[in-house]
């Protein structure tokens, strides 16, 4: 049954979104623009992601977690470039199910993550749509001039590292769709990883200082490794048996009869929002120290070699996965 809409768009802005706005730069959300001061010695780094009901989140997902995921997938992009986030532009396309309580829940999620990540709303747009709900955000951050890390700097001899664990996003979707059977606490952990992934914002300065190339793991570890390889004109060898797993993913993995196929699924599932980065071999110890200081798991999953493209391996043998990750239409 469609939700009852008790307010128009201007009331949504004034009552719900205005309290989230930056006190100066957003101009009270009463203008058609935001005005940002420059920051000497820095580049403005921008990223934009959109999420659509039925594609990136489930129709019955709580809208507070939808809002958090929207911000976090964008924050992950900035972190992988070594940028420091400060604000965002927001577009909301409310479906018929998005009445006032649902909008309040969505804004509560935004408010929660604004406090966690120290960012502010700068402006945007809000409209109704007869179709599925969709939301987009443009995140803005600063990086020292010319220093933002791209996908294009990996060099032969570099090592390939990934933060955190891989596969929880894909498994979390299965858990949310009730197509997975694990202990309840494992299911809860996986669903949380899918709905509210944790971007590695605290690792951005390390990326900036040590990485030769980096990307966030959104399409799948293998797919994003392929993006780095292509942009850098090198080959990335990825050792699937090194894939870091959470306790919940490990519990799922131990029940598989074909470990290679299971690892391919985890490495190609996407929605992990970890940072995949390449560093010179001589920087490994420094990188590990920085991860330890932040109590962040860090795993070497491969190396950069001469050649071109992705070179996945399992137990020392080259393999051809049936799927490396998501593709965008």
Residues annotated within the binding site are: 32, 47, 49, 56, 77, 124-125, 151, 216, 218-219, 271, 326
Q: How far apart are CA 151 and CA 310, in angstroms?
A: 14
Answer left, alpha or beta for residue 215, where phi above 0 means left and psi between -120 and 50 means alpha. beta
Residues belonging to the binding site for ATP are 124-125, 151, 218
Residues belonging to the binding site for Mg(2+) are 32, 47, 49, 77, 125, 216, 219
Q: What 8-state DSSP symbol labels residue 290?
A: H
- The residues, ordered by sequence, that sit 6+ positions from 287 with a Cβ below 8 Å of its Cβ are 161, 206, 210, 279, 298
Q: How far apart are CA 238 and CA 302, in angstroms?
A: 4
Name the strand (E) or helix (H) holding 317: strand 317-318
Query: What are the backbone angles phi and psi of residue 49, rounded to the nearest 5°?
Result: -135, 145
The 10 Å Cβ neighbour count of residue 44 is: 13
Burial 58-69 (b: 16+ CB within 10 A, else e): eeebbbbbbbbb
Burial 114-150 (b: 16+ CB within 10 A, else e): beebebbbbbbebeeeeeebbbbbbbbbbbeeeebbb
Neighbouring-strand partners of residue 305: 235
| Spatial CA neighbour of 189 closest among 165, 225, 205, 158 | 165
Residues belonging to the binding site for substrate are 56, 271, 326
Q: Give the pair of three-digit tokens for residue 83.
A: 């940028």
């Amino acid at each position: 049954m469609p939700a009852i809409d008790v307010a128009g768009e201007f009331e949504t802005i004034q009552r719900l979104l205005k309290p989230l706005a930056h006190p100066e730069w957003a101009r009270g959300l009463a203008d058609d623009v935001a005005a940002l001061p420059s920051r000497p010695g820095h580049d403005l780094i921008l990223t934009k992601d959109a999420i659509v009901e039925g594609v990136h989140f489930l129709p019955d997902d709580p809208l507070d977690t939808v809002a958090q995921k929207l911000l976090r997938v964008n924050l992950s992009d900035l972190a992988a470039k070594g940028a420091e986030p400060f604000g965002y532009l927001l577009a909301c396309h409310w479906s018929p199910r998005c009445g006032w309580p649902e909008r309040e829940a969505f804004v509560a999620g935004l408010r929660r993550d604004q406090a966690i990540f120290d960012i502010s709303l700068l402006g945007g747009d809000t409209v109704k749509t007869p179709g599925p709900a969709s939301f987009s955000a443009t995140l803005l951050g600063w990086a020292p001039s010319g220093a933002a890390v791209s996908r294009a700097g990996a060099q032969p001899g570099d090592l390939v590292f990934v933060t955190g664990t891989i596969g929880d996003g894909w498994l979390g979707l299965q858990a949310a769709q009730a197509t997975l059977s694990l202990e309840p606490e494992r299911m809860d952990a996986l669903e949380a990883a899918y709905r509210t992934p944790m971007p590695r914002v605290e690792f951005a300065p390390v990326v900036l200082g040590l990485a030769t190339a980096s990307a966030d793991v959104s399409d799948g570890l293998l797919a994003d490794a392929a993006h780095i390889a292509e942009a850098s004109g090198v080959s990335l060898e990825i050792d699937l048996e090194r894939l870091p797993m959470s306790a919940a993913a490990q519990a799922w993995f131990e029940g598989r009869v074909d470990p290679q196929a299971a690892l391919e699924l985890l490495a190609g599932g996407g929605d992990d929002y970890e940072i995949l980065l390449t560093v010179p071999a001589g920087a490994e110890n420094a990188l590990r120290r920085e991860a330890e200081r932040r109590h962040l798991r860090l795993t070497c999953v491969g190396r950069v070699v001469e050649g071109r493209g992705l070179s996945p391996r399992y137990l020392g043998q080259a393999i051809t996965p049936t799927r490396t990750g998501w593709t965008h239409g």
